[in-house]
């Protein structure tokens, strides 16, 4: 039987892996579960992704695009006159109020890097990209501190079920950006 031309198969497998993690958690992801979800032969998943870590890297990279798109859509970050803490708080609120499953999935894959070293570089991309964007508006240390605070706020909202408080986020982000006097 001749091979069927299927140029989108790799992408369908990545999309399927993301759905599997969204439905069953990271523990439910395997080559077999991704193949079944994508409706492709098992050999297709192992052809495109030799290891499960390779599949997770591709899924994490795609999941990371969710927050990056929200940030990129806000041109205000490039505007030196905008209130940066307010904009960041608004962006976090927009992201957290969107597709909750997508946000949870992104963090589940992100935190999987704790146990899977292959995921660490991709997990770090999120922090590095946002810090670079913020570095255009502030110094590198403050940019990294803002990213860490935003990450922590997101984790608290996701893990505790506490509603996102944009006012709190804006105040906390403002405090990080305040340069102490007398130092």
Q: By three-state DSSP, how is residue 142 classified?
A: helix
> What tokens appear for 97 in the block?
């109020």
pLDDT tens digits for 73-101? 777 677 888 899 999 999 999 888 877 77
Range of the domain at 67: 63-177
- Residue 55 falls inside a structural domain: no
Q: Are 6 and 80 in a shared domain? A: no
Q: Are 112 and 169 in a shared domain? A: yes
CATH code of residue 39: 1.10.10.60
b/e code 36-45 from CB counts within 10 Å (16+ = b): ebbebeeebb
Q: How far apart are CA 31 and CA 43, in angstroms?
A: 9
pLDDT tens digits for 122-164? 888 888 888 988 888 899 999 999 999 999 999 999 999 889 9
- Residue 18 falls inside a structural domain: yes
Q: Are 38 and 118 in a shared domain? A: no
Give this prediction's pTM: 0.80
Q: How far apart are CA 85 and CA 89, in angstroms?
A: 6
DSSP state of 117: G
- How many folded domains does the chain comprise? 2
pLDDT tens digits for 35-65? 999 999 999 999 999 999 999 989 888 887 7
- Residue 1 falls inside a structural domain: yes
């Amino acid at each position: 039987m001749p091979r069927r031309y299927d140029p989108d198969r790799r992408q369908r497998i990545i999309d399927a892996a993301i759905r599997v993690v969204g439905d069953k958690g990271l523990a439910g992801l395997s080559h077999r579960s991704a193949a079944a979800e994508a409706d492709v032969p098992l050999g297709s998943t192992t052809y495109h992704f030799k290891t499960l870590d390779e599949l997770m890297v591709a899924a994490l990279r795609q999941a990371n695009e969710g927050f990056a798109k929200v940030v990129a859509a806000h041109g205000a970050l490039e505007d030196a006159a905008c209130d940066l803490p307010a904009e960041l708080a608004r962006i976090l609120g927009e992201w957290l109020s969107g597709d909750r499953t997508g946000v949870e999935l992104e963090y589940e894959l992100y935190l999987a890097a704790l146990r899977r070293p292959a995921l660490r570089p991709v997990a770090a991309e999120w922090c590095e990209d946002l810090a670079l964007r913020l570095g255009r508006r502030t110094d590198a240390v403050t940019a990294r501190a803002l990213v860490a605070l935003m990450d922590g706020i997101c984790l608290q909202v996701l893990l505790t079920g506490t509603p996102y408080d944009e006012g709190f986020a804006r105040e906390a982000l403002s405090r990080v950006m305040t340069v102490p006097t007398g130092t």
